[in-house]
Structure 1
Amino acid sequence: MKKRKVPMRKSVVSGEMKPKKELVRITRSKEGVVSIDPSGKMPGRGAYVALEPKEVQDAWDKHILDRVLETTLTDEFYQELLDYVEHQKARKELFGNG
């Protein structure tokens, strides 16, 4: 059986290349609306962050996503992202790769 290629993406916080499934995509639409993209297929400028709460906290503290997406993000958005990452990490630990 032929081995499938695993899509790799770079985290904007750590700069590490990781499999796409281990990252969460944040998008900025043409209208300037920033949102979490769980499917990874929304249109717009995208940035990837690892599913690690510490990495999201670093992005929040240094406002890395603000610079990468060329916009100003609220603390509420960063909190929502942190909650989402913690939830996804807990799911991954409970259910494995599912």
Structure 2
Amino acid sequence: MKERKIPMRKDLVTGEMVPKQDLIRIVKTPEGTVKLDETNRANGRGAYLKIDVEIAKKAKKQHTFDRAFSTTLNDEFYDELIAYVDHQQGRRELFGNGQ
């Protein structure tokens, strides 16, 4: 049987190419709001972040998504992002990569 192609995306913070399933998508909607895209299907410009709490903290420190989306994001967005990444990382440790 032919092997399936694994979609790869670039992590915005580290710059490394990672399988899409190991990333979280953050999207700037056409209305101009920036939010977490839990479905990976929201309209707008997307950027990806690896599911790793240390990388999420580094994104907050460097204000990575402020520069990527040419906007100013408050610390609450980054705190929500870190909490979500921590949750997803915990799920992966408990249930494996399938979740």
TM-score class, shorter: over 0.9
Residue identity opposite 1:81 in structure 2? L
How far has the Cα of 1:65 moved from its partner? 0.7
1:20-50 residue CA offsets vs partner (Å, 9 max, x unmatched):
0111000001111111012211110111010
Paired position in structure 2 for 1:95: 95
- Alignment check: 8 A CA contact 1:10 1:48 kept: yes
Aligned-residue sequence identity (percent) comes to 51
1:56-92 residue CA offsets vs partner (Å, 9 max, x unmatched):
1111001111000111111111000000000000000
Q: CA RMSD in A?
A: 0.7
Query: Could you tell me how far apart the structure 2 residues matched to 1:6 and 1:53 are?
Result: 24
Which secondary structure state, in structure 2, belongs to the residue aligned with residue 94 of structure 1?
A: helix
Paired position in structure 1 for 2:34: 34
Query: Could you tell me how far apart the structure 2 residues matched to 1:91 and 1:28 are?
Result: 26
Residue identity opposite 1:73 in structure 2? L
Paired position in structure 1 for 2:3: 3
Query: Could you tell me how far apart the structure 1 residues matched to 2:30 and 2:41 are?
Result: 15
Question: What is the total number of aligned residue pairs between the two structures?
Answer: 98
Residue identity opposite 1:77 in structure 2? F
Residue identity opposite 1:18 in structure 2? V
Residue identity opposite 1:11 in structure 2? D
Query: Could you tell me how far apart the structure 2 residues matched to 1:53 and 1:43 are?
Result: 26
- Alignment check: 8 A CA contact 1:46 1:69 kept: no
Pairing 1:1-98 to 2, within 5 Å after superposition: 1-98=1-98
Residue identity opposite 1:64 in structure 2? T
